[in-house]
Amino acid sequence: MERRRNPSKQMLALLRTLSARPRDWRHGYEIMKETGLLSGTLYPLLMRMTDQGLVEAEWRPPAHPGRPARHAYRLTAAGLALARAADAEERPPGLAARFA
Amino acid sequence: MRAVAQAMVALASRCLGRHRRDWALAMREELEAARADGRSLSFAWGCLIAAWRELPRHAEGRYMIASHGLAFVLVIPTAALLVASLMSGVPYSYLAALGGEEPLLSDGNLFALPSLALLLVVVAAAHLRIAWLLLERDWAGVFTLGTLLAAVSVTLLLFTGLVFVTFIFPLALAAALAIELAAIFALARWHALAFGSASELLD
């Protein structure tokens, strides 16, 4: 079985951003702006998380006709569970109990 | 600026290889969004860094590292070493300068020095071409030039040995070439096993 390491600071930022609106598909550049991650950090992270089944990627039709399709990302059920677990761990114990 | 960013993303795309083709296309499409924001260069640079970080993680990337390593660490430095040694007078002009003192050098054999030096220039130039072909994965070209190099080094070995009765320099050159050709052969074999081409040349 693959052992999953604790999420890095960058991965936590990405999980937080994607779990804020879990059903929405987001584009790479939009995620960069929201998380503050640079493309050199974001893309390897997205690739890794897609390989691990935490993120799903899909080519989405353009918002404006005539523009090319763009790759978009959102969390899978496993990714969302990880995001929630990471979020619960980050909260102080009292607060976590109230949200449980 | 736009062209530089596009070139960087294109290079990133090559580094990502077939394995991550979708991601390379995704980066290319996002470049437009970054450009509209005036951040195309930093975005493209990040994509290139991301692609380089991916290189050791896939077979094609590992092959790229090995082929560039072979070209830039072994083949091109060997060419540079040959040119530098020729320019500093080793071995033929050195032997020529010894003319009067060295009993084995005479007017009879000094005539061969310019043509042997020219052969060494050919060997150095062939090295540069081999490095290029290696990175282009033009295995037919690499093997043709490799055969030529082997023939030239045998010629150098025989003529230098016969004319100057010294085998030290040509043997060192032949040993260096043998190591290089063995490394190139190993790389071609790796390429054939991993990606299927070059196999007909190795059979």
Q: Which helix (H) or strand (E) holds B23?
A: helix B21-36
Which tens digit of pLDDT belongs to each residue from B138-154? Answer: 989 999 998 888 888 88
Q: Chain B contact for A71, CB < 8 A?
A: yes
Hey, what are A21's tokens? 């609106």
CATH code: domain A9-99 is: 1.10.10.10
B201 or B15: which carries more pLDDT confidence?
Answer: B15
In this prediction, residue B116 has a pLDDT band, given cuts at 50, 70 and 90, of confident
How many Å lie between the alpha carbon of B197 and the closest alpha carbon of chain A?
28
Least confident range from B21-25, B169-173, B174-178, B183-187: namely B169-173
Q: Residue A66's CB: how many other CB atoms inside 10 A?
A: 5
Q: Which residues contact B70 (CB under 8 A, 6 or more apart)?
A: B134, B183, B184, B187
Please tell me whether residue A72 adopts helix, strand or coil conformation: strand
Q: What average pLDDT does this structure show over B12-41?
A: 90
Hey, what are A7's tokens? 């999420």
> Would you state the pLDDT for residue B115?
80
**Measured distance CA(B108)–CA(B117) in Å, rounded:** 17
Which tens digit of pLDDT belongs to each residue from B54-108? Answer: 888 888 889 889 999 999 999 999 899 888 888 776 666 556 555 455 555 667 6
How many Å lie between the alpha carbon of B70 and the closest alpha carbon of chain A?
27
B124 or B201: which carries more pLDDT confidence?
Answer: B124
A73 or B105: which carries more pLDDT confidence?
Answer: A73
- Please judge whether A40 and B37 are an interchain contact, meaning their C-beta atoms are less than 8 angstroms apart: no
Alpha carbon B125 to its chain's center: 10
**Measured distance CA(B187)–CA(A43) in Å, rounded:** 30
| Pairing between β-strand A70-75 and β-strand A26-27 as defined by DSSP bridges | antiparallel
Which tens digit of pLDDT belongs to each residue from A74-85? Answer: 999 999 999 999
> Would you state the pLDDT for residue B172?
78
pLDDT at A1 over 50: no
B166 or A14: which carries more pLDDT confidence?
Answer: A14
**Measured distance CA(A68)–CA(B33) in Å, rounded:** 12
**Mean pLDDT for all residues in chain A:** 86
> Would you state the pLDDT for residue B51?
93
pLDDT at B199 over 60: no
> Would you state the pLDDT for residue B149?
86
Q: In chain A, what residues touch B34 (CB-CB under 8 Å)?
A: 29, 39
- Please judge whether B30 and A42 are an interchain contact, meaning their C-beta atoms are less than 8 angstroms apart: no
Q: In chain B, what residues touch A43 (CB-CB under 8 Å)?
A: 23, 27, 46-47, 50
pTM for this model (two decimals): 0.69
Q: Chain B contact for A41, CB < 8 A?
A: yes
Q: Chain B contact for A96, CB < 8 A?
A: no
> Would you state the pLDDT for residue A77?
95
Domain ranges of chain A: 9-99
pLDDT at B182 over 70: yes
Instruction: Please list the residues that pair with A56 across neighbouring strands.
Output: A74
pLDDT at B9 over 90: yes
| Pairing between β-strand A55-60 and β-strand A26-27 as defined by DSSP bridges | unpaired
> Would you state the pLDDT for residue B114?
79
Q: In chain A, what residues touch B40 (CB-CB under 8 Å)?
A: none
ipTM of the complex: 0.81
- Please judge whether B29 and A68 are an interchain contact, meaning their C-beta atoms are less than 8 angstroms apart: yes
Q: In chain A, what residues touch B53 (CB-CB under 8 Å)?
A: 40, 44
**Measured distance CA(B117)–CA(B163) in Å, rounded:** 14
Q: What average pLDDT does this structure show over B181-202?
A: 77
Q: In chain A, what residues touch B56 (CB-CB under 8 Å)?
A: none
Least confident range from A49-63, A70-84, B164-178: namely B164-178
pLDDT at B192 over 50: yes
- Please judge whether A71 and B20 are an interchain contact, meaning their C-beta atoms are less than 8 angstroms apart: no
In this prediction, residue B160 has a pLDDT band, given cuts at 50, 70 and 90, of confident
In this prediction, residue B156 has a pLDDT band, given cuts at 50, 70 and 90, of confident
What's the first-to-final CA gap in chain A, in angstroms? 29
- Please judge whether B50 and A43 are an interchain contact, meaning their C-beta atoms are less than 8 angstroms apart: yes
